[in-house]
Amino acid sequence: MSEQQAAVAEATNPIPTPVVAKVREQFGEQVLEVRERLGETTIVVRSEAIVALARFLRDHPDLAFNHLSDVTAVDYLNLNREPRFDVVYHFYSIPKRHRLRVRAPVPEDDPTIATLTVLWPGASFPEREVYDLFGIQFAGHPDLTRILMPDDWVGHPLRKDYPIYGEEIEFSHNRETVERKTLGYG
C-alpha cells in the first residue's frame, strides 16, 4: 500500500478504537471478537445482544451510527464452521463519518435473530431479503414474508446447499442416476 493509499484508508476510517473500546466496556462478554483489516472494523457479537448493541451504537453521542447501511448474511456451510450463519450488519455514522461492521452468528437448527426494524424501519426490506434467501428468521419483524422469490417458493436460494441450477443436467455418463422429472407437457 502506498503512502497516499494508507492516508486515504485512514481518512476513510478514522481510528475506530474508541468505538471498539466503548462497545467492549458496555457489552463485555457479549462481544466475541474484534477484527481490524484493511482499515475496516468488525465486531462479532452474540446474536441475543444485537438490538441492545444497535441501539447503543445509534444513540451514544460519540458513536452516532444513525445510518443502517445494510443487513445481509453469509452461509459458512462450505467452510465447515459452526454456527453455520452470520448475519452481517453495516452501520454508518453520517455526522461522524465512520463505518462499522457487526456480525452475529446464528446456528442452523434455530436460525433466529431479533429484528432491527424497531430502530430503523428501513431494515425491513433487507431483513426480508435475508429471510427469503437464507431462511433466517427475524423475530418481531412486522411483515416477514418472501420479497424476491415467489410466495410459494420452497427453499432458500443463497444457502450453499441450494444448487445453482434447478436440476442436474443429463449426460450419457450419468443417464442412469439423474433424477428424471415429469414436466407434464409431452
Contact 19, 41 (CB under 8 A): yes
**Residue numbers at the binding site for another protein (CB under 8 A):** 1-2, 5, 8, 11-13, 37-38, 40, 42, 66-70, 72, 74-75, 78-79, 88, 90, 94, 97, 99, 101, 120-126, 129, 133, 146-150, 157-158, 162, 164
Rounded CA separation 37/43 (Å):
12
Q: Which is nearer to another protein, 18 or 155 (CB)?
A: 155
Judged by CB, which is closer to another protein: 29, or 161? 161
Minimum CB–partner distance for residue 123 and another protein (Å): 7
Q: With respect to another protein, which residue has the nearer C-beta, 46 or 146?
A: 146
Nearer to another protein, 24 or 97 (CB): 97
Burial per residue of 128-140, b for 16 or more beta-carbon CB atoms within 10 angstroms, e otherwise: bbbbbbbbbbbee
CB of 2 to another protein, least distance (A): 6
Question: Cβ of residue 182: shortest distance to another protein, in angstroms?
Answer: 25
- The whole-angstrom separation of Cα 98 and Cα 37 is 15
Q: Report the alpha-carbon distance of residue 173 to residue 156 in Å, rounded.
A: 30
CB atoms < 10 A from the CB of 82, how many?
8
